[in-house]
Amino acid sequence: MRIALGLEYDGSGFCGWQSQAGGGAVQDALEAALAVVADAPVRTVCAGRTDAGVHALVQVVHFDTEAVRPDTAWVRGVNAHLPASVAVRWSQAVPDEFHARFSARGRRYRYLLLNRAERPGLMAHRVGWFHRPLDVDAMAAAAGLLLGDHDFSAFRSVECQAKSPVKTLRRADVTMHGDLLVFEFEASAFLHHMVRNLVGTLVYVGKGAHPPEWVGDILAGRDRARAAPTFEACGLYFAGVDYDLAWQLKVGAGDTALILP
């Protein structure tokens, strides 16, 4: 039997999603909790791996098991064995052909950036921070140049294992909510560190170091060394996954609502 789960987590206390030999990953915590409920080892596959310090509003995983349990067991039962910073939101049986990663048609990320002189206190580890005023209109104009099918090599980490740097960016919005900048990105898939590199480059535009057109030049040049440094992980959220409606997954309602700390 194949089961799909939707979960959310605060990534600040984890070394990322992917299981590590010494533990400490979200996957390690989830699989340990699932094993208690299933009374057998469980291996999970996620829709999109997250790095150390990165959070998830809705992460989708699947796993195979011979254990027959009600959906409530895979939610409340698993949550009872998870750290407080990780929670399963829903569970449902899916066809064996469903794959959390390969069945996904698109993924969404959100970055929250506190833009004020003082560093965050209550929002520490939940937002990025930039102390100087930023030109949001210039950043939004620059973000628009990133839309479409492009080679995003200029925003790809050296550790990236993707077969191709060509991705389709469908959304790149920058909006201001009080002193919090919200970046919304949606694409067919993302390269390693791509969103954090995009945010860092847009901040360079916002602080006046370069005009919006510079981002288009960076994109066309495909040279990572010309773009801005990778921005900090703590403001990044894996915000959702898109699947064909035929799978009838519960992802959707409320999953991409604006989440402000």
- Residues serving a catalytic function are 51
Q: In 3D, which of 195, 204, 205, 207 has the Cα closest to residue 234?
A: 195
CA 171 to each of CA 32, 44, 56, 66: distance values in angstroms, whole numbers, following the listed order: 36, 29, 18, 40
221 phi/psi in degrees, rounded to 5: -75, -25
CA 92 – CA 98 distance, rounded (Å): 12
Q: Which amino acid is at 225?
A: A
Tokens coding 54? 């990165």
Judge contact between 2 and 95, C-beta under 8 A: yes
